[in-house]
Amino acid sequence: MTEAHTEPKSLPIAAREPQCPYQPAAELRALQKEAELPRVKVPSPLLGEFDAVAITRYEDVKDALGDSRLQMGFEFDPDKPRTMLNQPGNLLNYNGEGHSRLRRMLTGFFTIKRIRALRPMIEQVVADRLDEVEAAGQGADLVRLFSTPIPTQVICELLGVPYADRADFQRRAKVGLDVNTTLEVQVQNLKDMDEYMSGLVAAHRRSPGENMLGQVVRDFGHELDDDELTGIGNMLLIAGHETTASMLSASAALLLQNPEQLAVVRDEPEAVDRAIEELLRYVCPATIMPREAAEDFAVRDQEIRKGERVVFSILAANRDERDDVEGDPDTLDVRRPQRPHVTFGHGAHQCLGQQLARMELRVALPALFQRFPTLTLAVPDDEVDYRTTALVFGVNALPVTW
Amino acid sequence: MKVEIEEFKCVGAGHCVVAAPEVFDQRDDDGVVILLDADPPEHEHENTREAAQLCPAAAILLLEKATST
Q: Are A110 and A356 in contact (CB under 8 A)?
A: yes
- Nearest neighbour of A350 by CB, restricted to B8, B11, B18: B11
Q: Average pLDDT for residues A243-257, to the nearest whole number?
A: 97
The more confidently predicted of residues A362 and A45 is A362
Q: Across the interface, do B28 and A66 touch by the CB < 8 Å criterion?
A: no
Residue A174: pLDDT band (50, 70, 90) is: confident
Q: Average pLDDT for residues A202-213, to the nearest whole number?
A: 94
Quick check: helix, strand or coil at residue A142?
A: helix
Q: How many residues does chain A have?
A: 402
Query: CB A109: neighbour CB atoms within 10 A?
Result: 22
At residue A182, does pLDDT exceed 90?
A: no
Contacting A residues, span 208-247, partner chain B, CB-CB under 8 Å: none
Predicted pLDDT at A7:
47
Predicted pLDDT at A10:
52
Residue A50's nearest CA partner among A307, A250, A301, A267 is A307
Q: Are A56 and A35 in contact (CB under 8 A)?
A: no
Residue A15: pLDDT band (50, 70, 90) is: confident
Chain-centroid distance of CA A300 in Å reads: 28
Where do the DSSP E strands lie in chain B? 2-5, 24-26, 33-35, 60-63
At residue A148, does pLDDT exceed 80?
A: yes
CATH number of the domain at A188, please: 1.10.630.10
Q: Average pLDDT for residues A339-344, to the nearest whole number?
A: 94
State how many domains chain A has.
Answer: 1
Please tell me the least confidently modeled range out of A61-70, A332-341, A384-393.
A384-393
- Looking at the complex, does the CB of residue A66 fall below 8 Å from at least one CB of chain B? yes
Residue A267's nearest CA partner among A189, A259, A309, A142 is A259
Q: Are A107 and B11 in contact (CB under 8 A)?
A: yes
Query: CB B49: neighbour CB atoms within 10 A?
Result: 16
Q: Is residue B68 part of a domain?
A: no
From B38's Cα to the closest Cα of chain A, the distance in A is 21
Nearest CA in chain B to A348: B57
Residue segments in chain B with a per-residue pLDDT below the cut of 70: 66-69
Q: Average pLDDT for residues A81-90, to the nearest whole number?
A: 86
From B54's Cα to the closest Cα of chain A, the distance in A is 8
Collect all residues of chain B within an 8 Å Cβ-Cβ radius of residue A216.
Answer: none
Written as one string, the DSSP assignment of A27-61 is HHHHHHH-SSPPEEEE--TTT-SEEEEEE-SHHHH
From B69's Cα to the closest Cα of chain A, the distance in A is 22
Residue A85's nearest CA partner among A256, A277, A255, A289 is A289
What one-letter code names the amino acid at B33? V
State how many domains chain B has.
Answer: 1
From A226's Cα to the closest Cα of chain B, the distance in A is 21
Residue A174's nearest CA partner among A241, A236, A117 is A241
- Looking at the complex, does the CB of residue A302 fall below 8 Å from at least one CB of chain B? no
Q: Across the interface, do B30 and A354 touch by the CB < 8 Å criterion?
A: no
Q: Across the interface, do B31 and A355 touch by the CB < 8 Å criterion?
A: no
A108: left (phi over 0), alpha (psi -120 to 50) or beta: alpha
- Looking at the complex, does the CB of residue B32 fall below 8 Å from at least one CB of chain A? yes
| β-bridge partners, A292 | A71, A309
Q: Across the interface, do B57 and A348 touch by the CB < 8 Å criterion?
A: yes
Residue A39 lies in domain? 2-401
How would you label A305-329 residue by residue, b for 16+ Cβ within 10 Å and e otherwise? eeebbbbbbbbbbbbbeeeeeeeeb
Instruction: For residues A193 and A168, give the distance between their C-alpha atoms in angstroms, rounded to a whole number.
Output: 9
At residue A378, does pLDDT exceed 60?
A: yes
Contacting A residues, span 308-347, partner chain B, CB-CB under 8 Å: 340, 344-347
From A91's Cα to the closest Cα of chain B, the distance in A is 12
Determine which helix (DSSP H) or strand (DSSP E) holds A152, and give its type and residue range. helix A149-159
Where do the DSSP E strands lie in A17-136? 39-42, 50-55, 70-71
- Looking at the complex, does the CB of residue A58 fall below 8 Å from at least one CB of chain B? no
Q: Are A236 and A173 in contact (CB under 8 A)?
A: no
Q: What DSSP designation does B42 have?
A: G
From B67's Cα to the closest Cα of chain A, the distance in A is 22
CATH number of the domain at B47, please: 3.30.70.20
- Looking at the complex, does the CB of residue A350 fall below 8 Å from at least one CB of chain B? yes
Q: Is residue B69 part of a domain?
A: no
User: On the CB side of A100, how many CA atoms lie within 13 Å of its CA?
Assistant: 12
Instruction: For residues A365 and A276, give the distance between their C-alpha atoms in angstroms, rounded to a whole number.
Output: 9
State the helix-helix crossing angle for A354-371 and A149-159, rounded to 10 degrees.
Answer: 140
Predicted pLDDT at A216:
96
CA trace torsion A337, A341, A346, A352 (10° rounding):
-90
Nearest CA in chain B to A103: B11
At residue A180, does pLDDT exceed 60?
A: yes
From B25's Cα to the closest Cα of chain A, the distance in A is 9
Q: Is residue B41 part of a domain?
A: yes
pLDDT in tens, A108-142: 999 999 999 999 999 999 999 999 999 999 999 99
At residue A179, does pLDDT exceed 80?
A: no
Q: Are B17 and B44 in contact (CB under 8 A)?
A: no
Predicted pLDDT at A11:
61
Residue A237's nearest CA partner among A296, A331, A152, A179 is A152
Interface confidence (ipTM) of the complex: 0.91
- Nearest neighbour of B12 by CB, restricted to A66, A110, A347: A110
At residue A4, does pLDDT exceed 70?
A: no
At residue A3, does pLDDT exceed 50?
A: no
Where do the DSSP E strands lie in A142-254? none
Residue B41 lies in domain? 2-63
User: On the CB side of B43, how many CA atoms lie within 13 Å of its CA?
Assistant: 2
Instruction: For residues B21 and A226, give the distance between their C-alpha atoms in angstroms, rounded to a whole number.
Output: 38
- Looking at the complex, does the CB of residue A112 fall below 8 Å from at least one CB of chain B? yes
pLDDT in tens, A21-64: 999 999 899 989 999 998 898 887 777 788 999 999 999 999 99
- Looking at the complex, does the CB of residue A103 fall below 8 Å from at least one CB of chain B? yes
- Nearest neighbour of A111 by CB, restricted to B11, B28, B53: B28
